[in-house]
A and B are shown apart, each in its own frame.
Chain A
């Protein structure tokens, strides 16, 4: 059990497939996420691949405050992902609602709707910060697995 568990954890850390979802961002964070996916930053080095469908993805990368309209869609996308799954909130708005917090049409940060594993602040968060955040999430996962054992 121990060895199998270790191998599975290793593979999870080495192959995070992401799906990008805009929960109401102003597009700045989305552009930075797309920039992080370009050959310039080459995230395939870490095994990260962008997938089109939530069924293939392990990490849901969200940007922007959750608007009232997108809330149920965000929940549905999250439910469509197979376990184990992680959520990364990119940008200040996604972390806490940012300047939109308290607006009549906004439900504050992502963590008010679905559980978030990593927060990446910044307005917008730079591609380097996004990559760093995802890598920290994965190494944190490794540490958590070690502690659980």
Chain B
């Protein structure tokens, strides 16, 4: 019974949907304000979602209906599951075991794979181009993201997110040495969420809607919700690994601090998305492999050196 409550209400589906929509609103409003305009009203993500859910569902004749329908649901469930392993408030995640860091990263990769499969199975030319681009992009940002998040784990000597948070709460000085990794993972997260400098897979102005070209109605609504929740989970992961402050606070204050941290990451992402323009796929690959990946290696070496020569 408690498990069902965790899954559906808090911190599961309903909580994450509301939080995800709030984050989408903040993102869009900030984006609008930075462009010197008023921006959408507070209920905009909710209105978009209800409208999409109430629309007609069209499945292309050529598409594989079951794969086409199951992909948005898979994206949504994978991201919600990932949230259970992230310590949100307090030191301990809802479910935690040694190695949950890898599981979270793996679960966060699933949405990208569903974008690829969903695009591929809709058999439209544009969605196929978008799907291939999504997969190409995955190979570019995934390596720096993984390395920059594994570096703090290496220093903390644990693959468990709760253990990592505990370690950094005990040794706050080490936090300064992970700032480089924080920046790298932030940029990689932009790629994962397909936000503007890296929105190559769904570039509306060149390949109409990319992966989502053939999606409409309910399925598109679920995909959008999945992306919103992915943003929350990704930001929560970054907050848990790179900003482990104030974890010993009482429940309500700890929860507010957690929301503040996630919003901080989301707002930084939307500022980044305002000031950059879309890159080409080859530029993105070159940037990720020639700049981000070596920097992530530097971060790994910093943490290795710290491990050999501990700070006193």
A-B pairs, top 9 by smallest CB distance, nearest first, are A55-B216, A52-B204, A11-B50, A42-B37, A52-B208, A82-B56, A14-B47, A53-B209, A83-B56
Contacts of B32 in A (CB 8 A): 39, 42, 44
B68 to chain A, nearest CB (A): 12
Partner of B213, one of A14, A45, A53: A53
Q: Give 18 A-B contacts (CB < 8 Å), ordered by A residue.
A: A8-B54, A11-B47, A14-B44, A39-B32, A42-B39, A44-B28, A44-B38, A44-B39, A45-B38, A45-B41, A52-B213, A53-B214, A55-B215, A56-B212, A58-B51, A82-B57, A84-B55, A84-B56
Say how far B28's CB is from chain A's closest CB, in angstroms. Answer: 7
- Which residue of A8, A12, A14, A56 contacts B220 across the interface (Cβ within 8 Å)? A56
Does B43 lie at the interface of the complex (its beta carbon under 8 Å from any beta carbon of A)? Answer: yes
Closest chain A residue, CB of each to CB of B216: A55
Q: Tell yes or no: A112 within 8 A of B by CB.
A: no
Chain B contributes a number of interface residues (CB within 8 A of A) equal to 34
Q: Verify A82–B217 contact, CB threshold 8 A.
A: yes
Docked Cα-Cα span, A15 to B40, in Å, equals 10
Contact B55 A82 (CB under 8 A): yes
Chain A 60-92 against B: per-residue CB contact (8 Å), 1 yes, 0 no?
000000000000000000001011100000000
Contact-residue bracket for chain A: 20 to 34
A12 to B55, CA, bound (A): 9
Known contacts A55-B213, A55-B216; is-contact A8 B50 (Cβ 8 Å): yes
Q: Residues of B contacting A58 with CB < 8 Å?
A: 51, 55
Q: How far is the CA of A16 from the CA of B175 in the complex (A)?
A: 46
Residues of B within 8 Å of A146, CB to CB, are: none
Interface flag for A128 (CB, 8 Å): no
The distance in angstroms between the C-alpha atoms of A90 and B33, with both chains bound, is 29
Of A44, A45, A52, A56, the residue contacting B205 (CB under 8 A) is A52
Question: A136 at the A/B interface (Cβ < 8 Å)?
Answer: no
Q: Which of A7, A39, A44 has the most CB of B within 10 A?
A: A44
Q: How far is the CA of A44 from the CA of B31 in the complex (A)?
A: 11
A interface residue numbers (CB < 8 A to B):
7-8, 10-12, 14-15, 39, 42, 44-45, 47, 50-53, 55-56, 58, 80, 82-84
Q: Which residues of B have CB within 8 Å of A83?
A: 55-56
8 Å CB contact of A11 from B54, B205, B208, B209:
B54
Q: Is B48 an interface residue (CB 8 A)?
A: yes
Residues of B contacting A42 with CB < 8 Å? 32, 37-39
Residue of B nearest to A57 (CB): B216
> In the complex, A58 Cα to B55 Cα: how many Å?
9
Among the interface residues B43, B55, B205, which one has the most CB atoms of the partner chain A within 10 A? B55
Establish whether residues A55 and B39, one from each chain, have CB atoms under 8 Å apart when the complex forms: no
Contacting pair B47 A39 (CB below 8 A): no
A44 close to B56 (CB less than 8 A): no
Q: Which residues of A contact B39 (CB under 8 A)?
A: 42, 44-45
Instruction: Report B17-55 CB contacts with A as 1/0, cut-off 8 Å.
Output: 000000000001000100111111101101111110011
Q: Are B214 and A15 in contact (CB under 8 A)?
A: no
- In whole Å, how far is B230's beta carbon from the nearest beta carbon of chain A? 19
B291 in contact (CB, < 8 A): no
| A contact residues around B220 at 8 Å (CB) | 55-56
CA distance A56 to B49 in the complex (A): 12
In the complex, whether B58 has a CB less than 8 A from a CB of chain A is yes
New A-B pairs, 19, CB < 8 Å, besides A44-B44, A47-B48, A82-B58: A10-B47, A11-B48, A14-B41, A14-B47, A39-B35, A42-B37, A45-B37, A51-B204, A52-B208, A52-B213, A53-B208, A53-B209, A53-B212, A55-B213, A58-B51, A82-B55, A82-B216, A83-B55, A84-B56
**In the assembled complex, how far is the CB of residue A83 from the closest CB belonging to chain B, in whole angstroms?**
4
Asked if A12 meets B216 with Cβ closer than 8 Å, knowing A44-B32, A44-B40, A45-B38, the reply is: no
